[in-house]
């Protein structure tokens, strides 16, 4: 279904890209570890029509300003022009620049963006935005790129626009869809199925966050400092013994082990074990990586007391959402009960949804 702001744009093509929830594997994708992610039925949609003047003009139903970006990166004032754009416009420009580096012709485009993904909720709204914009720009130029190159280009665009050195998980989830185990070193994707009779509940804590300017980058650098002290490039290659006395390293190594056990438990249909691993992941994120906050800790407690098998923070931490695995028949009730208890205890206003795995990014059927 086309989101309301795009319904009147007859004659255009519309591309969609889903957000994602990180079921387990926090703060390890940038160490080339393993993660389990699920693309969800919340998405960004971009309607596109080609222009003949080599300018990208973008409008958003959710964000202020109109973006106009000339695809002439050799201009002497190009950097100054980009800095003058609104924050979301810099992301549009960065995606356009990355695609040109891959060979996209400098064809102009009119873009209209709409989304039902919460900004700052930890569900990768930025990655979905990048991927949907990239597909739309490709279509406007009659040009395309393979899935891995698309995800990598969008990852580079996020770093260029925001300075956040994110891993590859979010863009891969948006491009590929479904539930999967991702090896962030080899980029191999193994589809997974969650146990029959279970469902994923996502509760937005009501505490918005952005990774840029948060302690997230500091935590990331601290974990890389552990790797450097061990003479390693990334912590994927560390052993538990090597990091036993290093909290950041201990989190990364133990989290990668939990991810692989999570994948095995999913294949075995063991929902109780999946829940226990999610709780252990949250505890490690809270105590060793220190990316949780009291609101997220409270929300995890509320979800488990309401009947979830387990729960954890998702995304980069410092706010956003928690994710839980719950019995499918009780999932909506568990989300509602947890949200009510959390609101009473925290004073924040949460939002709960039962998420469904979504397909990867692509075009919507023509109207």
Decide if 170 is catalytic.
yes
What is the DSSP secondary-structure string of 127-142? HHHHHHHHHHHHHHTT
Helices 216-229 and 247-268: crossing angle in degrees, nearest 10, is 100
Taking Cα atoms as reference points, which of 10, 24, 3, 5 lies closest to residue 200?
24
- Residue 190 in tokens: 């193994």
What pLDDT was estimated at residue 123? 87
| CA–CA dist 199, 197 (Å, integer) | 7
| CA–CA dist 238, 253 (Å, integer) | 7
* pLDDT, tens only, 199-237: 999 999 999 876 555 688 899 999 999 999 999 999 999
Average pLDDT over residues 131-141: 97
What pLDDT was estimated at residue 181? 98
Homologous superfamily (CATH) of 195-355 is GHMP kinase, C-terminal domain (3.30.70.890)
* SS3 track for 151-217: HHHHHHHHHHHHCCCCCCHHHHHHHHECEEEEECCCCCEEECCCCCCEEEEEEECCCCCCCCCCCHH
What is the DSSP secondary-structure string of 49-110? EEESSSEEEEEESSS-SEEEEES-TTSTTHHHHHHTS-HHHHHHHHHHHHHHHTT----EEE
Angle at 183 between CA 227 and CA 356, to 5 degrees: 125
Compute the residue count for the chain. 367
Average pLDDT over residues 30-34: 96
Taking Cα atoms as reference points, which of 315, 239, 310, 303 lies closest to residue 275?
310
Q: Which CATH architecture has domain 4-187?
A: 2-Layer Sandwich (3.30)
What is the side-by-side strand order in the sheet with 198-204? 310-313, 321-327, 198-204, 351-355
* pLDDT, tens only, 86-120: 889 999 999 999 999 999 999 999 999 999 997 76
Residue 76 has pLDDT above 50, yes or no: no
What pLDDT was estimated at residue 32? 97
Question: What share of the chain in percent tops pLDDT 90?
Answer: 82
Per-domain residue ranges for the chain?
Answer: 4-187, 195-355
Question: In whole angstroms, what separates CA 51 from the centre of its chain?
Answer: 30
Catalytically annotated residue among 29, 97, 110, 170: 170
Average pLDDT along the chain: 92
What pLDDT was estimated at residue 15? 97
The values of phi and psi at residue 151, to 5°, are: -60, -45
Residue 77 has pLDDT above 70, yes or no: no
Q: How many CA atoms are closer than 13 Å to the CA of 26, on its beta-carbon side?
A: 35
What pLDDT was estimated at residue 351? 95
Query: SS3 of 148, please?
Result: helix
Query: SS3 of 361, please?
Result: coil
What pLDDT was estimated at residue 136? 97
Only one residue has tokens 């940038």, namely 30
Q: Is the pTM of this model over 0.95?
A: no
Residue 75 has pLDDT above 50, yes or no: no
């Amino acid at each position: 279904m086309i989101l309301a702001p795009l319904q009147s744009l007859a004659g255009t093509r519309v591309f969609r890209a889903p957000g994602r929830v990180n079921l387990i594997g926090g703060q390890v994708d940038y160490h080339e570890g393993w993660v389990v992610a699920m693309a969800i039925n919340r998405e960004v949609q971009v309607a596109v029509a080609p222009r003949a003047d080599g300018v990208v003009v973008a409008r958003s139903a959710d964000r202020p300003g109109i973006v106009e970006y000339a695809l002439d990166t050799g201009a002497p004032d190009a950097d100054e022009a980009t800095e003058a754009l609104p924050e979301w416009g810099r992301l549009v420009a960065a995606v356009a620049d990355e695609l040109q580096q891959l060979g996209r012709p400098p064809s102009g485009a009119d873009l209209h963006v709409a989304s039902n993904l919460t900004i700052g909720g930890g569900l990768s709204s930025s990655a979905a935005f990048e991927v949907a914009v990239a597909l739309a720009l490709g279509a406007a130029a009659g040009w395309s790129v393979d899935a891995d190159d698309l995800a990598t280009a969008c990852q580079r665009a996020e770093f260029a626009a925001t300075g956040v050195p994110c891993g590859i998980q979010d863009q891969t989830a948006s491009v590929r869809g479904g539930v999967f185990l991702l090896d962030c070193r080899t980029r191999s994707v193994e589809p997974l199925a969650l146990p029959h009779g279970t469902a994923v509940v996502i509760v937005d804590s009501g505490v918005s966050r952005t990774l840029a300017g948060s302690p997230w980058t500091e935590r990331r650098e601290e974990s890389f400092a552990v790797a450097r002290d061990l003479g390693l490039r990334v912590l994927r290659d560390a052993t538990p013994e090597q990091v036993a006395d290093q909290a950041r390293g201990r989190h990364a190594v133990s989290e990668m082990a939990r991810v692989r056990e999570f994948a095995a438990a999913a294949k075995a249909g063991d929902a109780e074990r999946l829940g226990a691993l999610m709780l252990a992941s949250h505890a490690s994120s809270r105590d060793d990586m220190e990316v949780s906050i009291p609101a997220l800790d409270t929300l995890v407690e509320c979800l488990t007391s309401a009947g979830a098998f387990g729960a954890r923070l998702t995304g980069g931490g410092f706010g956003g959402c928690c994710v839980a695995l719950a019995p499918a028949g009780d999932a909506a009730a568990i989300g509602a009960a947890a949200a009510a208890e959390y609101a009473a205890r925290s004073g924040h206003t949460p939002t709960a949804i039962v998420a469904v795995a979504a397909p990867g990014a692509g075009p919507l059927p023509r109207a």
